[in-house]
Amino acid sequence: MKGKIMKGIAGFYYVHCDNEITYECKAKGIFRKENLKPLVGDLVEIDVLDEKEKTGSIREILPRTNKLFRPAVANIDQAAIVFACRDPKPNGNLLDRFLITMEYLDVPTIICFTKSDLAADDEVMEFKRIYEAAGYPVCVTNIYEENSEMVRLKELLKGKVTAFAGPSGVGKSSLLNHLHPDAGMETGEVSEKIRRGRHTTRHSELFYLGEQTYLFDTPGFSSLEFSQMDKEKMELYFPEMHPFLGQCRFHGCTHISEPDCAVKEALQNGQISISRYENYCSFYKELASLRKY
């Protein structure tokens, strides 16, 4: 029988099969010998061991279309990067790290800002303007109001496998509970002392909303490294730079210190945001430093 791994805890994998039944499975020992671990989102073949108790054994992991390492999930169609408009205040550097990671992995990305009720309209619209200009779909949501932004988010999720990711405390679990009321995800509060969220998601889990729509809830994390990337390719991970690449005076322009740079000219003309450009420079120099040592 074929199915999709919805959750994995302590060596047990919960596989949702075509017959709409979920089986609790263990992986065969051969996977350990081959150093292959089943991931949430994997399509697998199982042997049913006990139909009454709904237990089984994973016999084969079917080929993956992609795999993320942090969080460790497989076969996603897109990512939804979730940040709060306020409480905690969004960190543009961290948001761009998420986006660059997804660009590097060639995973389409939606940006969702939560808690719009806590922020002034001009703050919300500035976030939306910057990232939509960079080419990303942006939804600014409030779980207490079924507004047009929430409706648009649901349309973007429909028929796809979406991994929700982002730092803790931004409202990922609350948003998932709103989108899928049966999820029953534990939610947490933001620490008054450090204004950061507490981790409430302890494992990756996949929820089925019907109509081939799946949502991943993934453990929050606060930092990303991209040491495997090539600094010369950093420009490719900023979509708003693409129209200006190849137009600089010097071949191999880094867009940092060279004269007659088309990217810096676009920056001066307001076609690229200052905050995004500053993060580009910071990431380029970070990678250069990593290569040096």
Examine the pLDDT at 136 and tell me if it is beyond 60: yes
pLDDT at position 194: 38
- Average pLDDT on 122-132 reads 89
pLDDT at position 35: 82
pLDDT at position 171: 87
Could you check whether the bond before residue 71 is cis, i.e. omega within 30 degrees of 0?
yes
Higher-pLDDT residue of 188 and 81 is: 81
Examine the pLDDT at 17 and tell me if it is beyond 50: yes
Q: How many domains does the chain have?
A: 3
Question: Would residue 28 count as lying in a domain?
Answer: yes
Q: Report the alpha-carbon distance of residue 54 to residue 73 in Å, rounded.
A: 24
Residues 33 and 118 in one domain: no
**Each residue's pLDDT tens digit, 205-245:** 889 988 889 998 776 554 566 778 999 999 999 999 999 99
Q: Structural domain of residue 198, as residue ranges? A: 68-217
pLDDT at position 54: 96
- Contacts of residue 68, defined as CB under 8 A and 6 or more positions apart, other chains included, come to 74, 76, 105, 107, 163
pLDDT at position 188: 47
First to last CA, the chain: 50
Question: Would residue 141 count as lying in a domain?
Answer: yes
Examine the pLDDT at 287 and tell me if it is beyond 80: yes
Residues 41 and 142 in one domain: no
Instruction: Report the run of H or E that residue 104 belongs to, with start and end.
Output: helix 92-104
Residues 19 and 155 in one domain: no
Q: Which residues pair with 213 in a beta bridge?
A: 210
pLDDT at position 68: 79
How buried is residue 102: exposed, middle or buried, by Cβ count under 10 Å (0-12/13-18/19+)?
Answer: buried
Q: Torsion angle of alpha carbons 175, 82, 222, 93, nearest 10°?
A: -160
Residues 105 and 245 in one domain: no
Question: Would residue 135 count as lying in a domain?
Answer: yes
- Average pLDDT on 239-259 reads 97
- Average pLDDT on 101-112 reads 93
Residues 103 and 40 in one domain: no
pLDDT at position 198: 44
Mean pLDDT of the chain: 87
Structure tokens at 40: 């949430």
Our CA angle for 216, 189, 9, nearest 5°, is: 35
Residues 81 and 209 in one domain: yes
